[in-house]
Amino acid sequence: MSEGDTRRSILTQILRNGPVSATDISDTLGLSAAGVRRHLDNIVAEGLAETVEAPRSTAAGSRGRGRPARLFRLTDAGRGQFGHDYDSLALLALRALRETGGDAAVARFADQRMEELFSGVDPEADEPVDEQARNIAGALTARGYAATVDHAGGGVQICRHHCPVQDVAHEFPELCAAEHRVVAELLGRHTQPLATIADGNGICTTHIPLTTIHPSSQKES
């Protein structure tokens, strides 16, 4: 059994039997207790599992003394290793919302979601555009978008390197439209959506021009 397979088997044992001791895991899998504990230490360090103390009567037996045994159970992050069906659930919910309330209901939901996501960004902040863009990127990153801010093409670009709602946004572009609208409002200026992951691009990019070219200046030149 490879290291990866062993780790997966240990995680599965914790999922099925947790809280469970290292000894019980090693007995069930036929592995050395030392090897199991090494994997468990790494799993706990990565935040995939946590330890709890066994009831003293279980840990100490009839002797009524001794150090309580450590038991292991998965954290939410650990359970996430086994996958989820959130996208399907979200799609079903939004389809039902569109069926009962129409496109306007979906748009309202998308607006509310974005307003909640950016609730920590002050729209009245008297800050340079690039600093406010970083505030926006920070809010996006906190929700799993892995956002960065760069300077390019005479402006500032907010790039999202991951989209946690990619499949949902592909069917419901209202989510992307609401994000672009709220970002523009927070910046207090025009923005240009250049690409989205939902449309098959590698990165979601929003361009914020820092200069405005007026028609009159073009004629004079």
The pLDDT of residue 220 is: 45
86-216: CATH topology is Muramoyl-pentapeptide Carboxypeptidase; domain 2 (3.30.1380)
User: Ramachandran region of residue 78, left (φ > 0), alpha (ψ -120 to 50) or beta?
Assistant: alpha
3-80: CATH topology is Arc Repressor Mutant, subunit A (1.10.10)
Domain ranges across the chain:
3-80, 86-216
Euclidean distance between CA atoms 26 and 145, whole angstroms:
38
The pLDDT of residue 55 is: 67
| Assessment of whether the complete model's pTM goes beyond 0.85 | no
**Three-state secondary structure readout of the chain:** CCHHHHHHHHHHHHHHHCCEEHHHHHHHHCCCHHHHHHHHHHHHHCCCEEEEECCHHHHHHHHCCCCCCEEEEECHHHHHCCCCCHHHHHHHHHHHHHHHHHHHHHHHHHHHHHHHHCCCCCCCCCCCHHHHHHHHHHHHHHCCCCEEEEEECCEEEEEECCCCCHHHHHHCCHHHHHHHHHHHHHHCCCCEEEECHHHCCCCEEEEEECCCCCHHHHHHC
Euclidean distance between CA atoms 150 and 176, whole angstroms:
20
The pLDDT of residue 56 is: 61
User: Ramachandran region of residue 92, left (φ > 0), alpha (ψ -120 to 50) or beta?
Assistant: alpha
Euclidean distance between CA atoms 127 and 117, whole angstroms:
20
**Tokens 């207790």, located at residue:** 33
Q: Which residues of the chain have pLDDT under 50?
A: 58-63, 213-221
